[in-house]
Amino acid sequence: MIRGYVLIETEVGATQSVGDAVRHVRSAFGKIVAVDTVTGPYDVIVQIEAEDLDRLGKAITSEVATVPGVQRTTTCLSVNLA
């Protein structure tokens, strides 16, 4: 299982609608674990888990990034350093 954190920048005034829309995405490629609206340089942070990197990428590019109001995404992958 691979976990990614998708940092989303939204269009001005679209933070709430993007957060709500992503909460309702039923991914065919992974599981959306958490959706948080935040302050700072990003507007919404989404935690996604998938079986592999390819499925995670598809969940992000074809399901999360296509939500109306999403302007840009940056993905951080969780790694085990132990």
pLDDT single digits (tens) 23-37: 999 999 999 999 999
The dihedrals phi and psi of 58, each to the nearest 5 degrees, come to -65, -40
Q: What is the pLDDT of residue 15?
A: 97
Q: Is the pLDDT of residue 82 over 90?
A: no
Angle among Cα 61, 45, 8 to the nearest 5 degrees reads 50
* Report field, pTM of the whole predicted structure over 0.85: yes
Domain positions in the chain: 2-77
Looking at the domain covering 2-77, what would its CATH class be?
Answer: alpha beta
Q: What is the pLDDT of residue 28?
A: 94
Q: Which whole number is the average pLDDT over 48-69?
A: 96
